[in-house]
Structure 1
Amino acid sequence: MGIVDLQNFFQCCVGDWITERTYHYLSQSLVERSRTTFRVDPITSDLKQRVLDDNQYSAAVSSLEELPGFRLGFHTVSETGEEVSQELRMLFVPQQQQGTTLAGDYLRDRAYEEDRPIVSQFRYDTSCQELLMTTPYTRVVSVDSITLINPELRIRSILNYQRPQAGPLDTLLLAGFGVEQKAC
């Protein structure tokens, strides 16, 4: 249980995927649809170390070989024709396990909302195969959930909250939902 379950989750995520998403921009009363194609590949220990170095990550890290690390490349086309492409490397560093939940840090060499390395938090629940990632950006806090239904199908939700000065996340700016299917 724990790191092995997380490694199995990510093994199912390796490959080519297609996702159809709907974004609800609450402050603008706008709904937008998009289609994304993306590829997930494991990275070498050298690239994992580079992600740690890019983030100046000083927490103790066990064997790099055991840590889930990946390259993610994607291309999104919105219904308005806007296109966005990005490539980044990510690394998951488990730090604690409690019951069916494994938690730790989620590092990227490039963030989605801001072009810089970033350290976020993740929580993986083995009982429902849900990976929850929380990223505090400068203006928003993004809470991204991936639930693995089976090795060919994932459900994704993205909630962006206005980043509060203090206190709970209570001002939702964006809600996104998607169905992700492994490409044949």
Structure 2
Amino acid sequence: MKPLEQFHHFFNCCIGAWSTERTYHHLTRGEVERSRTEFTIRTLTPDLKHKVLADNHYPNHSVDGFLGFHLAFETVSETGEEVAQELNMLFVPQQENSRGLEGDYLRDRAYEEDRPIVATFRFDPGSLQLSMTTIYTHVVAVDSITLLNPRLRLRQILTYQRPPAGQPLHDLILVGFGVEQKLT
């Protein structure tokens, strides 16, 4: 299968309701936190795909080949802190080669900051791993999802202190791991 076909397969498997147990290691505070998240993923309508493009002032495109999703989640940490959020996302492939697929990852609402944001993604069709890198004001988040089978995903979250422009990622401040199981 070609990388783009594998990318569509990856996301077809992701549609539905999921439950995840995560562990976060706050390296600067020396703390470990556990949480449970229930989330649902559904496909976006063409109108919502256009809205995500407009929210991000992204050049207008035909959205026919773009994968777009609505994500809604509720997280409860072991300390009782609750977070709920809904957002729309759109994947805009830019380059397909033997190593996979790369492009832009747009959201109408970012996780770290409450605003639309354009990030980048890379998809490896061999390992079925999607990596997304988002540059925020103060940090850079590198989030990876590996599809082990249609009902099981592994998640890795790495958050770095944002380096000066042109410098590599270096100061890791948060590491998260999760096992995500499909409910429906």
Query: In the alignment, what sits opposite 1:173?
Result: 173
Q: CA RMSD in A?
A: 0.9
2:134 corresponds to 1:138:
no
Identity %: 60
Whole-angstrom CA distance in 2 between matches of 1:150 and 1:49: 31
Q: Give the match for residue 109 of structure 1.
A: 108
Aligned residues: 182
Q: 8 Å contact 2:4–2:96 — kept in the other structure?
A: no
Gaps of 5+ in 2: none
Q: What does residue 84 of structure 1 align with?
A: 83
SS at match of 1:64: coil
2:17 aligned residue: 16
1:64 aligns with 2:58: no
Shift of 1:64: 1.2
* Structure 2 match to 1:49: 50
Residues 125-184 of structure 1 deviation map (CA, whole Å, 9 limit, x = unaligned) = 000000000000000000000000000000000000000013110000000000000014
- In structure 2, what residue type is equivalent to 1:55? N
- Runs of 4+ deviating beyond 2 Å: none
Amino acid at match of 1:168: P
Q: Provide the C-alpha distance between the structure 2 equivalents of 1:102 and 1:65, rounded to a whole number of angstroms.
A: 17
SS at match of 1:65: coil
Q: What SS does the corresponding residue of 2:168 show, helix, strand or coil?
A: coil
Counterpart amino acid of residue 81 in structure 1: G
How big is the shift at 1:7?
1.1
Q: TM-score normalised to the size of structure 1?
A: 0.97
Q: Which residue of 1 aligns with 2:37?
A: 36
What SS class does the counterpart of residue 52 from structure 2 fall into?
helix
